[in-house]
Amino acid sequence: MTKILVFANHLGENLSSGAREALAFGARLASSTGGEVRAVLLGPVAASVAKDAIACGASIVYTVSNPLLDEFDVELYVNSLFEVIEQTTPDIFILSFDKIGKDLAGRLSTRMGASALTEVVDYKINDDKLTWIRPIYGDKAFGEYSTTRSKIVLGIRQKSQDEGNPVESRIGEIIPIDYTVPEEMAVTKLVVKIQAALSDIRLEDARIIVSGGRGLGGPEGFKELEALASLLGGAIGASRAACDAGWVPSNLQVGQTGAVVSPDLYIAVGISGASQHLAGITTAKTVVAINTDEEAPIFKRANIGVIADYKTVIPSLTEKLKKVLV
């Protein structure tokens, strides 16, 4: 029986959407391999969130309830997760390949002596052999991979799985793991928290995103986008060029090395549509592109294209929408 362990990260008292996806993937895999899915939760509220992990398919949830694990610290998390892995010996360790998962996957697979595969979206079983599917070439194709080591770490691509519906009545077991993570292992310390986001809506959860790129010409361009986004109840996103220029915080970056988003509506303003940016919006339902260059690659992805200067389009669109929506 394949032993599957999922890292179910949580934001406050709720499982992250990435954790729900990782659990859904684990549960699907367990049903194909005849096994069961177990989960691990870290932090002082782990025990109270554990029932959500059970509702999402975990049969057993291991918790390491240490106050030091309240905030993400890569060294403390790696040590705690590795302790649980050593005690429970999973064959497959699954995590969401979100910002935290990106920090953990490589470190954990090295400690475990495991093969690691990231951005995994699916699997296949041929003659009892598992292979893993992930997008390649900037999402232009899918690759099918087998692994050479007996242990595997899988990073599940964000927004690639149906989170499914939690079954509150599911019964499972919660097992506290007695491990006191040594404080001296923390090599970094959180000194101060800075409110970075331009809106309260998390990019990954936003149904509408208005995203700006280098074509905005400076940070003031984002003020126009903010007005539109707040009118639509959406969030602000950005290309890496806009983040690297310091116009907006880096946590607004959408793309391969930023957030992978899945909104109903993605408005790309002054963004050329580099493959690394498009990798973050593959599952966006409707993409509207506003760009002065009719040859910009973003128009190949866009459902609606506006070839124009954003400075004329955005203010008049905002004004028109105000009349309809307010």
Ligand X SMILES: Cc1cc2nc3c(=O)[nH]c(=O)nc-3n(C[C@H](O)[C@H](O)[C@H](O)COP(=O)(O)OP(=O)(O)OC[C@H]3O[C@@H](n4cnc5c(N)ncnc54)[C@H](O)[C@@H]3O)c2cc1C
Nearer to ligand X, 9 or 291 (CB): 291
Q: Does 213 bind ligand X (CB under 6 A)?
A: yes
Closest distance to ligand X from the beta carbon of 227 (Å):
16
Nearest partner of 250 among 170, 317, 185, 196, judged by Cα = 196
Total residues in contact with ligand X, by rule CB under 6 A:
28
Look up residue 50 and give its two tokens: 């554990």
Q: Does 277 bind ligand X (CB under 6 A)?
A: yes
Q: Pick from 8, 16, 291, 302 the residue near ligand X by CB under 6 A.
A: 291
CA dist 244 and 240 (Å) reads 6
Q: Does 35 bind ligand X (CB under 6 A)?
A: no
Q: Does 289 bind ligand X (CB under 6 A)?
A: no
**66 contacts 44 by C-beta, under 8 angstroms:** yes
> 10-11 and 14-15: which strand pairing?
antiparallel
Q: Please enumerate in sequence order all residues whose Cβ is within 8 A of that of 161, keeping only pairs 6 or more positions apart, or say none.
A: 21, 22, 24, 25, 121
Closest distance to ligand X from the beta carbon of 6 (Å):
26
Q: Pick from 43, 101, 215, 263 the residue near ligand X by CB under 6 A.
A: 215
At 8 the three-state DSSP class reads: coil
Closest distance to ligand X from the beta carbon of 199 (Å):
19
Closest distance to ligand X from the beta carbon of 28 (Å):
28
Q: Does 276 bind ligand X (CB under 6 A)?
A: yes
CA distances from 223 to 207, 208, 212, 248 (A): 20, 17, 10, 11
Nearest partner of 27 among 72, 62, 57, 47, judged by Cα = 57
Q: Does 288 bind ligand X (CB under 6 A)?
A: no
Nearer to ligand X, 230 or 257 (CB): 257
Q: Does 222 bind ligand X (CB under 6 A)?
A: no
Nearer to ligand X, 255 or 263 (CB): 255
Nearer to ligand X, 94 or 225 (CB): 225
Closest distance to ligand X from the beta carbon of 276 (Å):
3
> Radius of gyration over alpha carbons of the chain, in Å?
21
Q: Does 287 bind ligand X (CB under 6 A)?
A: no
Burial string for 105-119 (b: 16+ CB within 10 Å, else e) reads: bebbbeebebbbbbb
Residue 197 φ/ψ region, left for φ over 0, alpha for ψ in the -120 to 50 degree band, beta for the rest: beta
Q: Does 214 bind ligand X (CB under 6 A)?
A: yes
H/E element holding 152? Answer: strand 152-156
- Considering only residues 302 through 321, tell me which ones interact with ligand X, judged by CB under 6 A: 309-311
Stretch that binds ligand X, among 19-27, 70-78, 86-94, 212-220 (CB under 6 A): 212-220
Stretch that binds ligand X, among 13-21, 129-137, 183-191, 264-272 (CB under 6 A): 264-272
Q: Does 260 bind ligand X (CB under 6 A)?
A: no
Look up residue 131 and give its two tokens: 């292979």
Q: Does 270 bind ligand X (CB under 6 A)?
A: yes
The length of the chain in residues reads 326
At 192 the three-state DSSP class reads: coil
**253 contacts 241 by C-beta, under 8 angstroms:** no
Nearer to ligand X, 175 or 307 (CB): 307
Q: Does 296 bind ligand X (CB under 6 A)?
A: yes
- Chain contacts with ligand X (rule: CB under 6 A): 213-215, 239-242, 253-258, 270-272, 274, 276-277, 280, 290-293, 296, 309-311
